Amino acid sequence: MPEIPRRRVAVVGATGVAGQQFLVALASHPWFEVTALAASPLSAGKTYREAITEASGQLRWSCEESLPEQFADRGRERRGARARRALCVAGSGGVDLVRVPLRG
């Protein structure tokens, strides 16, 4: 049986509860590859781990599962790895969530 190519996707609103749940679900999904993370302007210039870490050093992680390591130090999408679809738009930041990449 031939292997089905994985779809490249972005998670928009990645630092919120819904975005975190998408990351857990997609971490080892056979059909999708997360190639980009985006969040509110508060997360600009940060890695994903930095973006979800409070000033006290506590991780703001809302899932029972651990933070998938493949996303922890990730931020801005890799050149040439653009996603064709966004799977999650979450949060109260409105439209400005779409264009604010995290540092990678």
pLDDT of residue 8: 84
pTM check: above 0.75: no
Higher pLDDT, 87 or 33: 33
35-58 pLDDT, tens digit each: 888 888 888 888 999 999 999 999
15-42 pLDDT, tens digit each: 989 889 989 999 999 988 888 888 888 8
Beta bridge partners of 36: 10
User: Domain 7-97 adopts which CATH fold?
Assistant: Rossmann fold (3.40.50)
For the chain, the domains span: 7-97
